[in-house]
Amino acid sequence: MKAPRLLLFIFSLAFASCKNNPPTNLADENLIPKPVSVTATGESFELTSETVLVATDVPESLRDTLAAATGFSLASATEGNLKSAIYMKLDSTDRELGAEGYELVIETEKISIKATQPAGLFYGTQTLLQLITRKQVDNKLLIPTGTIRDYPTYSWRGSMLDVSRHFISVTDVKRYIDLISHYKMNVLHLHLTDDQGWRIEIKSWPNLAVHGGTTQVGGGKGGFYTQEQYKEIVAHAATRFVTIVPEIDMPSHINAALAAYGTLNNPETKFPKSGNYIGPVETQGIVDGNNKPTDLYTGIEVGWSTLSLAKPNTLKFVNDVIRELAAITPGPYLHIGGDEAHVTKKEEYIKFINQFSEIVKANNKKMIGWEEIAQANIDGNSIAQHWASEEHAAAAAAKGAQIIMSPSKKVYLDMQYDSTTRIGLHWAAYIEVDESYNWDPATRVQGITRENILGVEAPLWSETVVNMTDIEYMAFPRLIGVAEIGWSPAEGRSWDEYKVRLGKHAPHLERLGVDFYRSPKVEWSK
């Protein structure tokens, strides 16, 4: 055959196979979170090495993820008569989509993603990625045709990593950000300090990290983020439209600071009988006159340490830490902890929270605290995070605070799935995958209505969680169910429907390399 004929032959083959593509159903694609609306048209778009990307307002990182997932380079092109193209564009006129929504239209020769803001293009791309990696028929990347219109129910969809009880590396935090944002979560709360370790460099109080960061639960070597590394995490998160919310837990959960600086130590703190740790010889707690620092702590008891207003340097410490943290945090929030202050006198606790709120405000940030802050003079300028006490949470809402829903019996990712789970705690509950999915933030707590609720957050405390394998095993698959609770409409959500979708979604989690818990409550696809 001469060359032109050969080409013709190849073309006709390609054309014929194109026509022979099997019928599809976009509505049956096991997407998580479930989109607001899906209309299927039954055909398919074939992604090939010829497919181009027409996008002017799109961050490079989006092209990179798409290219990595498809294995094709997705060359840039400008609008015109294109054979196979993915279009992404901003369009502020489609108001229904809101700030984070998108419309994804898949036709046989083109795919278009439209959003009012870049975040929406990002989420549309995440949906597309789930569609791309699911369909490989006869070695062809076929994407079912139809239209998806999608936008979130709650504006706060988050997770928390406790990097204090066990230190978590920058690399692992970045991977966690990649995973949560793929499931359309937009907040990562970092629990940066606790009794067992101070994990963020504070230049005006350097010993906090240098000494206070040298150990962790069980006595391992701990670690901390320099401010440069923290900024690197923040910047990575920004490319995935994730806001970093840093937490300095005060006035309790503060031993790492008391161990670094004797000037902060005080008689209210009741060091537990075991779990003390002197620390490496290269670093020392700083003695200040008669004020000796505490030992470092490697146990898991809570609520026994406190700052004290009787110590003249306490508020200077708080001011300095919040000022430095605010300066490296572009997001609007600072979390001041405020939980489990068992040895702080109630009047002093209230004074502390009122002070924190002033200081956070003076640094142009919005204060978040665990629900116990409801006892102080909080108002609509503060956000309370519900975890255990419905009474405190409802009181916070009654004072006008917005509420983040993290009910420990549902979304504490450090809780064991059942009594046989190899790591995890169970003080709140054993939480199987159905339990963590089966609840509605808007009806969970009496006195807290949809209007009070900013959104949902699933915390992962790390007393028993040591590495990325542990993180993934405890977080997945519960986390993606929480992502769906935050994103998808509550109406029509049911475990019976979700468990089938989740089971069929499993190969996608595998492709992401996620080591998830295969709950016996779900039939998992191979």
Tell me the backbone φ, ψ of residue 384, rounded to 5 degrees: -110, 140
- DSSP letters spanning 237-305: HHHTT-EEEEEEEESSS-HHHHHHBGGG--TT----SS-EE---TT--PBPBTTBPPPPEE-S---S--
The site string for ligand TNX over 94-123 (x = CB under 6 A, - otherwise) reads ------------------------------
Q: Which of 46, 150, 414, 484 contacts ligand TNX by CB under 6 A?
A: 414
Pick between residue 225 and residue 412 the one whose CB is nearest to ligand TNX: 412
Do 520 and 432 meet the contact criterion of CB atoms below 8 Å apart? Answer: no
Q: At what angle do helices 314-327 and 346-362 cross, to 10 degrees?
A: 40
Q: Which of 176, 198, 370, 439 contacts ligand TNX by CB under 6 A?
A: 370
Pick between residue 123 and residue 387 the one whose CB is nearest to ligand TNX: 387
- Asked if 387 interacts with ligand TNX (CB under 6 A), we say yes
Least distance from ligand TNX to the Cβ atom of residue 339, Å: 3
Pick between residue 205 and residue 370 the one whose CB is nearest to ligand TNX: 370
- Asked if 435 interacts with ligand TNX (CB under 6 A), we say no
- Asked if 326 interacts with ligand TNX (CB under 6 A), we say no
- Asked if 339 interacts with ligand TNX (CB under 6 A), we say yes
- Asked if 417 interacts with ligand TNX (CB under 6 A), we say no
- Asked if 302 interacts with ligand TNX (CB under 6 A), we say yes
Least distance from ligand TNX to the Cβ atom of residue 425, Å: 5
Find the binding residues for ligand TNX in span 212-271 (CB under 6 A).
Answer: none
With a CB cutoff of 8 Å and minimum separation 6, the contacts of 183 are 32, 33, 126, 479, 480, 483, 484
- Asked if 36 interacts with ligand TNX (CB under 6 A), we say no
Q: Which of 107, 340, 348, 390 contacts ligand TNX by CB under 6 A?
A: 340
**Strands 37-47, 276-277: pairing kind:** unpaired
- Asked if 425 interacts with ligand TNX (CB under 6 A), we say yes
Please tell me which residue in 107, 232, 301, 340 is annotated as part of the active site: 340
User: Rounded to whole angstroms, what are the CA distances from 505 to 145, 158, 417, 501, 523?
Assistant: 19, 21, 20, 6, 11
Pick between residue 270 and residue 450 the one whose CB is nearest to ligand TNX: 270
Least distance from ligand TNX to the Cβ atom of residue 394, Å: 17
Give the interface size with ligand TNX as a residue count (CB under 6 A). 10
With a CB cutoff of 8 Å and minimum separation 6, the contacts of 165 are 194, 196, 197, 216, 217, 300, 461, 462, 463, 465
- The 3 state secondary structure assigned to 109-128 is CEEEEEECCHHHHHHHHHHH
Residue 170 to residue 224: CA distance in whole angstroms: 10
Q: Which of 102, 271, 412, 417 contacts ligand TNX by CB under 6 A?
A: 412
Respond yes or no: is residue 201 known to be catalytic: no
Give per-residue burial for 472-492: e unless 16+ CB within 10 Å, then b. Answer: bbbbbbbbbbbbbbbbbeeee
Q: At which residue do the structure tokens 């690399």 appear? A: 171
Find the binding residues for ligand TNX in span 157-216 (CB under 6 A).
Answer: none
CA atoms 494, 496, 499, 503: torsion sign: negative
- Reduce the DSSP state of residue 101 to 3 states and report it: coil
Residue 303 to residue 259: CA distance in whole angstroms: 16
Do 379 and 399 meet the contact criterion of CB atoms below 8 Å apart? Answer: yes
Pick between residue 111 and residue 250 the one whose CB is nearest to ligand TNX: 250
The site string for ligand TNX over 438-477 (x = CB under 6 A, - otherwise) reads -----------------------x-x--------------
- Asked if 498 interacts with ligand TNX (CB under 6 A), we say no
Pick between residue 462 and residue 488 the one whose CB is nearest to ligand TNX: 462
Pick between residue 70 and residue 164 the one whose CB is nearest to ligand TNX: 164
Enter the tokens of residue 40. 């299927």
Pick between residue 122 and residue 387 the one whose CB is nearest to ligand TNX: 387
Least distance from ligand TNX to the Cβ atom of residue 193, Å: 11
Residue type, 450: R
- Considering only CA atoms, which of 377, 383, 372, 393 is closest in space to residue 449? 393
Catalytic residue annotation: 340
Chain residues binding ligand TNX by CB under 6 A are: 302, 339-340, 370, 387, 412, 414, 425, 461, 463
